[in-house]
Structure 1
Amino acid sequence: MPIQVTCPKCLKRFQVSDKFAGKTGPCPSCKNQIKVPEKGEEVKIHAPDDGAPKDRTGKSVLKPIKRQETDVTRKGLFITIGAIVAVVAVAVGLRISGGVPHWSVLAAMAVAIAPPLVWAGYKFVQDSELAPYVGSELRNRVLICGVLFAALWLLYAFIPSYLFDLESPSEMSFLYFGIIISVMLVMGAFVSVATFELEFPSGLAHAGLYFIATILLAVISGVTLATAAP
């Protein structure tokens, strides 16, 4: 059986036949005279024992736990797309009919589109290192997060009248609108973090998807969210 030899000068590692055990010879790399160790002097490194039960061959009898994969299902994708298409269709219908939609209609649209957007967003930003939420637990968290997202629009509805003394939120400038939306976005990110245990950047992206979608729906519906006038 070959003997492992390491040259102390050039640190070259090589193997020699066990018949040269205890003899001296030149290193094949630097020609330095080195002594081949005796067979009993070899250092053998064994793999650490993990303490797990083993079979007769020394192999562990424990099987690794496989992480459950939760890809976007076809059913969930169809439901999400269907809900979004339905809400967009309502928004287009409101735009065609003319006039400004009643606030109750806008609130219903914000609530209706929240769950599918929350579900779809979670599927894309979930932490791959953690076991994902599934089943009823996922459904409950989606509903809670969706309702809280929609409730954040109350900030847009009431803050302008209290802080800026405006009769309607649409009278505020784009600057103030941007500030309020930024506050809503940050609060929404914290909602996502608390609901789905996401990292803050992922929570920000998760909430951003909802607010961007609802702003686009409002624009499609013909709602004026802000004005260029200061």
Structure 2
Amino acid sequence: MINVLLVDDHPIVRSGYARLLEAGGDIHIVAEAQDADTGYLAFVQHLPRVTITDLSLPGSSGIELIRRIRARDQTARVLVFSVHDEAVVVDKAIQSGAHGFISKRSAPEVLLEAVRAVARGDRYFSEDVRKIVEVRTPDSERAIVNALSPREFEVFRLLAQGLSAAECAQTLNLSQKTVANYQALIKEKLNVSTSAALVHLALKLGIVAGSESQRLLNIDR
């Protein structure tokens, strides 16, 4: 039996995926979580064979959850199941330690196949994501963002959503000074000088949606 932790912020969606997975007969949902913090606590408590996580979660993202899980247990197997399959996001999820990445647009049987593959130690990518993974000629902006560490990327994402340094610090359990240092380093690495420019880059690469970053679009121009 494959024990699975399912992390998604929509209860109805989680319920549907749980029924689908357990209908396969060889998969058991040991726990569900709605955000990265409760997902991490559930991982520590249940030590599932596979953790399935969305990337868009309240507060910290699924990428931060992957980083925390893999930092605690290098043998942990994580599968991303998300509607966000932009190249930069896929790259960063893999860099953070994900063993598979499938789009929520995939057929139901793809999710079952992916869980079984990741559980036995294989990597698995849905067809659309595989095309992104196999392309190793990233444009300059994608390459620059890929140079960010997983923690730097998470701070970048939160700042691009319009969170202040203090709000980022609270979300990530860091000091405000640490976040401020990250913010300066991120701007230097991305070669941007203003918060608005940072937001525009995140929008262009599909890291955040327009509705997430509206607070910063009219400042620091």
Report the TM-score, using the length of structure 2 for normalisation.
0.27
Higher relative CO (Cα under 8 Å, sequence separation at least 6) belongs to 1
Larger radius of gyration: 1
The structure where strand makes up a greater share of residues is 2
**Which TM-score applies when normalising by structure 1?**
0.26
